[in-house]
Structure 1
């Protein structure tokens, strides 16, 4: 709740473009069509419910409508906690299950990303419960549990397409356990979810599975254009979650837990390996699979000596306080909220969340040379590290105003400067006719 109320930013531009903006258009303007055809519209409509509740309570400021969505998504994310407890306890025991549950609730990044990284984290509850029912279907040879697992994993895939990788791993694991009838039940239920998504796309975009096809084509053709990162980027992120140098004490018990819980470890491994082949990498792409890592780390924490466990939770608590009280993307949101000019002009190729501009028109010029075409009475926003630009003599411009991201934005920029370029500091300059 604190993380949801502390701010009004978002984690990544995709969370704005494919969730907040379509939901805003639906609530404020009554238009239900999303801005793009490469994400499912299902999630945007869930976000719209949170905004509608905030609007019903009297909120009008865009920031408070956004907070309404964050509160709803944060509450929904809590439903994954009993799921990860069951998922862990079934194979690794009660102490490991308790540690994994606390990690899902209180790992340093979780409260923040549970209310900010909307698209990735929204898929976690159905994903976790889908794996729970997968184990139940195997242990009880239950076709009914297999159907539930397939539907839940399919629902996770509708919210975040990449989680389909884990769904395929789950079906393969059931086949390996020689539960043929259960595997067919899971696959059939998953295909039913896929069919549902296809029909939604047919209604929304006029083409069966348009969003999934568009998403795959977009990433296959344009992934590299957003910047490339080394193949080991996600391995580094997973190591950071274990809080080095405490990682040294956790490696062996994590390995033991991975051997004991093959469904979780294999699904996590395949998910990470396949994502590592994609040139463009961002830490948020791994968020949907964080619960799988928490299962293994939780088991490790349950078996290390008490001093290591205490140090882990103390350091995590410090990072948790910083991350929970922070808010992302303010280097671009705040210059829009502060604008009092007739127009806003962007230079630098980045996108701006228009809902925060309160109706002020936004021009997206890409190069400094376009400044000569800048309308009069405008607020210019650009990257702070760009070379100073020569402004037209016809304008009288005020001093530059610097807008920085918060501590977490700066840390993510340091970890992955190419993938997180949009989080860097911006400069705003207000200009009026002479």
Structure 2
């Protein structure tokens, strides 16, 4: 194994780039502006769409954070047995307390505030993607590769969401770029090790990537970088152990419980179901951008000329292998691996485009590269984001007269929790008028607000004294005196 060559297989200009030649560092001003706009896109989409692409968005980060900030909230079973650590929810709870101090009481306002550090993390990720590509294909190729990563469909879907996969994948990209640096080995190791540690803290499944990165450093014989990486990662690990000791009463309690539940005991497969390895084939193929099939043969040609093993590609392959042999499977688990695969391939495709002599070919090639990058996002969107429901819940509970809320045609884990209700009132979910929760709410006069999906139980609600006050998409909002 050798360290990836600092020179690109496809230079950014028509003139060859000699060994040791100085390279342009940093984006031009207009490139920084474009990059900032792209960094904002996922958060803007998430806040504008509202809803969720998976219940974990709410109940593994937003709701625990709300509980920590305000003393009440719905805690999923993982937070009762200690299967998660409190790092990310504690950061979010601090921002929620800041929102209260600033008078940001509307759910959309404090949800937007929570997006600010995520936008910063995403911007850092895109800068890392630029630096990773710029070392190989120059400034123009680096900018095109950065845009190909930033506009990659799954990034637009996931990066603004409060999922462990979303946060961890961004940290992983930063780590890949840091460890890939041929210079300043101490700084590269410190940054790489720290963000690798953070990637694991926000999502334990990313530990596979850490192991693969360490294998790559050993194979490349980058001993100094390896030492600093282990040191920085160890500091983060100690911090996690202290946090778990304070919150769960035992160092590394959440990590050990996670490994036992998901790997050793088989409880995850029994509780959530098991799938064969073929489960991932379709989502994996649909998740790849069209241009990657151009990058594969180009990368092979470049490898034949100058053999080197790509760090993000190695981590992605190792991660995919681990997913195949893990019994419980979900499409969203693919996201971090897909992103690293795109990071590895983007410089190859971008280098090919910017090396074309004709400006027209460069323009057409760049446009096709970016357009085909967006397409896979459609395959990872939830069939129903519940955006209408979340917006209806926010609207129905804003006035001071709200004392209780019933959500019809929805289960507990599909609802927005106290985070989107924004006040300490009783609320329940139900599916049908004959359900116990529905009957209880009809008898309890505190329940004076209701939201129903596609009009289910509308007649029964009106018979109990509710009247329609508005509609948001497929959701109907009702109130009663």
TM-score by length of 2: 0.69
For CA contacts below 8 A with separation 6 or more, give which structure has more relative contact order.
2
Report how far residue 79 of structure 1 moved: 1.0
Report how far residue 180 of structure 1 moved: 4.2
* 1:164 aligns to 2:212 (yes or no): no
For 2:417, which of 341, 348, 354 is the aligned residue? 354
- Describe the SS at the equivalent of 2:250: coil
Report how far residue 209 of structure 1 moved: 0.9
* 1:375 aligns to 2:440 (yes or no): yes
Match of 2:54 in 1: 12
* 1:154 aligns to 2:219 (yes or no): no
- Describe the SS at the equivalent of 2:153: coil
Report how far residue 89 of structure 1 moved: 3.6
Length, aligned pairs only: 405
1:396-411 → structure 2 map (5 Å cutoff): none
1:9-158 → structure 2 map (5 Å cutoff): 9-29=51-71, 36=79, 37-91=82-136, 94=139, 96-136=141-181, 139-140=182-183, 142-143=185-186, 145-158=188-201
1:107-256 → structure 2 map (5 Å cutoff): 107-136=152-181, 139-140=182-183, 142-143=185-186, 145-180=188-223, 182-219=225-262, 220-223=266-269, 225-228=271-274, 231-244=277-290, 248-253=293-298, 255=300
Unpaired segments ≥5 residues, structure 1: 405-425
The answer on whether the counterparts of 2:95 and 2:114 sit within 8 Å (CA) in structure 1 is: yes
What is the alpha-carbon root mean square deviation over aligned residues? 4.3
Report how far residue 217 of structure 1 moved: 3.1
C-alpha distance in 2 between matches for 1:57 and 1:7: 24
Report how far residue 308 of structure 1 moved: 4.8
Match of 1:287 in 2: 335
- Describe the SS at the equivalent of 2:428: strand
Worse overlay, 156-165 or 194-203: 156-165
Report how far residue 60 of structure 1 moved: 0.7
C-alpha distance in 2 between matches for 1:123 and 1:286: 12
For 1:263, which of 311, 318, 331 is the aligned residue? 311
The answer on whether the counterparts of 1:381 and 1:428 sit within 8 Å (CA) in structure 2 is: yes
C-alpha distance in 2 between matches for 1:385 and 1:240: 35
C-alpha distance in 2 between matches for 1:126 and 1:97: 19
Q: Which has the larger radius of gyration?
A: 2
- Describe the SS at the equivalent of 2:277: coil
Report how far residue 199 of structure 1 moved: 0.9
Unpaired segments ≥5 residues, structure 2: 1-39
C-alpha distance in 1 between matches for 2:235 and 2:374: 42
Match of 2:406 in 1: 344
C-alpha distance in 1 between matches for 2:375 and 2:462: 51
- Describe the SS at the equivalent of 1:344: strand
